[in-house]
A and B are shown apart, each in its own frame.
Chain A
């Protein structure tokens, strides 16, 4: 990692920030497709909003901004949010979008209440907690990057090992269930991957905008490939570039990181949707036009 940081043409603190944000972007971009392709992007949105009360409560329990503990609190609450949504859907017979809406707003409201209380508490340690709203990559240290590499690497390794199973079950859950993979295990696995992506990304991008870093790289990559085995790394690289470049830009412009990263990644997704060689809007329009012209030619030729 140190050699990679030394290679970046940036001063050390900035290089750490760029490296860390790129790792987080890659992990989010590569893990999210397993939820996004199943139409569960907003599920991830509610989970990222749900991390906020977890972060503040973890701070209240420990009394200081220990990254590991904040991460654990975020993860715990992301899982709780997921469980709440599934519970509402299954037991409460709520429509998925309604369950997501309720969970998202309720957990986020709790987070804001806690955050405001802590802000008024006079504890000098608390300053900077509000960075979890819109994200702040500045102040990232080498240890944060190591945590991201370790946790993200673990999740990515799981994706590589279980790739065939994940692909089959994401594509055709019923077939996979008959072949012996219960649907709930796939739900649990894709939720776990999403938790890791969200919890790592939320520090940089913030609870509110995290969903863009889950969805946009996948959308861009989908326009560029017809295979999942290429979509996942492409999506990861788009996330990495947006995260790294966005963090550096935001730091220099003194803007919150989240919005800059999100604008960058959305721009890339828009460009991919427009200009993708085979599936892009322009390429499709061009093919339709040539098809129509050759059709007309054949017609008049008769």
Chain B
């Protein structure tokens, strides 16, 4: 069985989408949403001569809550960084919202891994949220009333109203992630890319934030891509997934991706070279959920 999907993924995507497979919703605009939010084409990335990703080809359809999963060192973060121009591509190409990133910078909101953000930086929560408006307003112009409104709405939706004047370094992990998510919401971007958004976050906050992300995608216009490590939440809450292990093991609707065979291949490849993983996901069962059921739960 060939579960490594690369270029074959594209040919499968078309019919699935026109059948309204993704989230069980027909796209009213027809062809418009056939443009994937993010698409990798034969991408290869290496760090200091060592290959981190090779022959990566997959796409994230517009309007999905998508996860990029895989074992440690699988290149999950590298894949999104490559898509956003943060690491150079050895070969291959990336399309962001159907074009080049530089054409759509203000439409892409990025929340990096927490350890890539400067620690102990003198900044308050509201100042972080306001950064979400800079891609629109630029580095020099004052924020407008419209900007303030977007910031206020993001603060309200993420439930950080009481924290706005707190210094960021005095917040808990969960509160910090709410602040960074608020920044992404304040940007009112079409594509949100979150790298490990739920590390150091308690289960309740994670559930609340995932609800918020699902709500955002429910209109079929917004796309959320999260690099994620918790396969169980992905199986339960996400629409679409890409399973990476140096390259694409599987990509598509969640229940097609998180199969025992694919997981074994993804995690097994690394197992051969590494020690025991923290948990062996291939032995766990994931409910193959009906996608129509998923739609009723989303508001």
Contact = CB atoms under 8 A, between A and B. Distances in A.
A165 interface: yes
B110 A225 contact: no
A10 B101 CA distance: 60
Contacts, number: 76
A178 B108 contact: yes
Contact of B122 (A175, A181, A225): A225
Interface in B40-83: 48, 81
A180 B135 contact: yes
A230 B48 CA distance: 40
Given A93-B48, A164-B134, A178-B105, A170 B121 contact: yes
A174 interface: yes
B173 interface: no
B121 A179 contact: no
Contact of A226 (B101, B128, B139, B167): B167
The size bracket of the interface on B is 20 to 34
B274 to A, nearest CB: 23
B112 interface: yes
Interface string B98-127: 000110011010111000111011111001
Contact of A162 (B86, B111, B139): B139
B131 interface: yes
A227 B164 CA distance: 13
B286 to A, nearest CB: 32
A167 B123 CA distance: 9
A277 to B, nearest CB: 13
Interface in B120-160: 120-124, 127-128, 131, 134-135, 139-140
Contacts of B20: none
Contacts of B139: 162, 164-165, 168, 181
Interface string A221-233: 0100111101100
A178 B134 CA distance: 11
Nearest to B167: A226
Nearest to B127: A227
The size bracket of the interface on A is 20 to 34
Given A162-B139, A178-B110, A227 B116 contact: no
A175 B48 CA distance: 23
A174 B122 contact: no
Interface string A32-44: 0000011100000
Given A164-B134, A177-B86, A226-B167, A170 B118 contact: yes
A172 interface: yes
A164 B135 CA distance: 12
Contacts of B85: 177-178
Main secondary structure of the interface of A (DSSP, over half): helix
B123 A228 contact: yes
B270 interface: no
B266 interface: no
B120 A222 contact: yes
A228 B127 CA distance: 10
A171 B176 CA distance: 14
A96 B114 CA distance: 21
Given A172-B118, A172-B131, A180 B124 contact: no
B134 A171 contact: no
Interface in A137-175: 161-162, 164-165, 167-168, 170-175
A171 B121 contact: yes
B84 interface: yes
A14 B103 CA distance: 58
B121 A178 contact: no
A37 B118 contact: yes
A50 to B, nearest CB: 25
A181 B86 CA distance: 11
A180 B105 contact: yes
Q: Which of A168, A175, A177, A222 has the most CB of B within 10 A?
A: A175
Q: Which of A167, A171, A177 has the most CB of B within 10 A?
A: A171
A164 B140 contact: yes
Given A168-B131, A180-B105, A174 B120 contact: no
A174 B123 contact: no
Nearest to B169: A226
A110 to B, nearest CB: 29
A94 to B, nearest CB: 12
Nearest to B118: A171
A235 to B, nearest CB: 10
Nearest to A165: B139
B123 A178 contact: no
B32 to A, nearest CB: 24
Given A178-B84, A230-B122, 7 more contacts: A37-B118, A93-B48, A175-B183, A177-B85, A178-B101, A180-B102, A227-B127
5 contacts: A171-B121, A174-B110, A175-B183, A177-B84, A226-B167
Task: Return the 3 tightest CB-CB contacts between A and B, nearest first.
Answer: A226-B167, A174-B112, A165-B139
